[in-house]
């Protein structure tokens, strides 16, 4: 597929997916969803070890482009639930299930589904000038794209309900202070910080990171006893991996390990 609304490349194990509708603050359209789905599929085939998602221009993602779905052909009102089922739900699940670390590099405003797209990623790093807005209540909707599930788990019910009902802007610095995101950095340092984080993860034992991701996300739904079983089974698998053998050998030899993700 050739891309009109996103940019994609993969170099030295780092895949970069850039939402590329800067004149619309990278708001989603149906065509853009199709391109993102295709790009996520490519990450599994091109040897990528980490994925970075960011936005072109001054915004990360303004959520849904309302002009793209306000009225269906023939003047019929669009079924918003159908849009969630066909586009947003598969996108959020795909990010959570991708067997590699996913970084959201939030360069500007992340609003509505754009905010929850970022929060579905494994690590969120944001420029100080960025912000997060659960804008749904402003147009008579509730947070989607996993927002009602993710927000209370990250920051508790009180703050989640406040953000969802009021739709207030949350600065990147405050989001980091609340524990909503991993880190906020100065705007001037942001590109280098993203590159350093991506390179660090690409050099890591990515099979172990994939199992860590699965265990942590799945653990929200399991008992402690069941989670201990998951840890046992994953540790048994990882203990037979090439990366574990390399990690131990490098530790003994006091050298930098060379992980391969197997």
d(CA 99, CA 147) in angstroms, rounded, equals 22
Q: Please say whether the beta carbons of 217 and 97 come within 8 A.
A: no
pLDDT of 71 reads 52
DSSP for 12-52 reads TTEEEEEE--GGGTT-B-HHHHHHHHHHHHHHHHTT-SEEE
* C-alpha span between 57 and 118 (Å, rounded): 16
**Is beta strand 183-185 parallel, antiparallel or unpaired with respect to 123-127?**
parallel
Quote the CA–CA distance of 72 and 87 in Å, as a whole number.
16
Per-residue pLDDT tens digits for 53-86: 999 999 999 999 988 865 555 666 677 888 888 8
pLDDT in tens, 88-103: 999 999 999 999 999 9
Whether this prediction's pTM lies above 0.85 is answered by yes
Q: Do residues 180 and 170 lie in contact, with contact meaning Cβ atoms separated by under 8 Å?
A: yes
Q: In whole angstroms, what is the distance from residue 67 CA to residue 87 CA?
A: 16
pLDDT-flagged residues of the chain (< 50): none
* CA–CA gap between residue 246 and residue 203 (Å, rounded): 13
Tokens 């853009």 sit on residue: 32
DSSP line for 46-113: TT-SEEEEEESTTEEE-SB-HHHHSB-GGGPBP-HHHHIIIIIHHHHHHHHH-SS-EEEEE-SEEETH
120-146 pLDDT, tens digit per residue, is 999 999 999 999 999 999 999 999 999
User: What pLDDT score does 72 carry?
Assistant: 56
- Residue 153, classed as helix, strand or coil, is helix
- pLDDT score at 44: 82
Largest CA distance in the chain: 70
Q: Which of the 8 DSSP states describes residue 250?
A: H
pLDDT at 88: 94
- Domains of the chain in start order, with CATH, are 6-202 (3.90.226.10), 206-253 (1.10.12)
Cβ 96 vs Cβ 51: under 8 Å: no
Looking at residue 80, its pLDDT comes to 85
pLDDT of residue 100: 96
């Amino acid at each position: 597929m050739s891309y009109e609304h996103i940019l994609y490349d993969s170099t030295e194990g780092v895949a970069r997916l850039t939402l590329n509708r800067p004149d619309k603050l990278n708001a989603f359209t149906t065509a853009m969803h199709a391109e993102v789905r295709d790009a996520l599929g490519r990450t599994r085939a091109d040897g990528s070890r980490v994925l970075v998602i960011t936005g072109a221009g001054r915004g990360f993602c303004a959520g849904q482009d309302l002009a793209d779905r306000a009225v269906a052909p023939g003047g019929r009102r669009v079924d918003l639930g159908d849009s969630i089922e066909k586009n947003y739900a598969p996108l959020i699940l795909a990010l959570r299930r991708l067997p590699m670390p996913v970084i959201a590099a939030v360069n500007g405003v992340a609003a509505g589904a754009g905010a929850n797209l970022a929060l579905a990623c494994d690590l969120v790093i944001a420029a100080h000038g960025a912000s997060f807005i659960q804008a749904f209540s402003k147009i008579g909707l509730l947070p989607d794209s996993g927002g009602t599930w993710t927000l209370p788990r990250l920051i508790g019910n009180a703050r989640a309900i406040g953000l969802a009902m009021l739709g207030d802007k949350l600065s990147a610095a405050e989001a980091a202070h609340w524990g909503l995101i991993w880190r906020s950095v100065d705007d001037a340092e942001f590109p280098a910080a993203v590159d350093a984080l991506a390179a660090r993860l690409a050099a890591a034992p990515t099979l172990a990171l994939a199992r860590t991701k699965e265990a942590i996300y799945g653990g929200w739904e399991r008992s402690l006893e069941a989670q201990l079983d998951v840890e046992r089974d994953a540790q048994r698998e990882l203990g037979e991996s090439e990366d574990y053998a390399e990690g131990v050998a490098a530790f003994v030899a006091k050298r930098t390990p060379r992980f391969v993700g197997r």
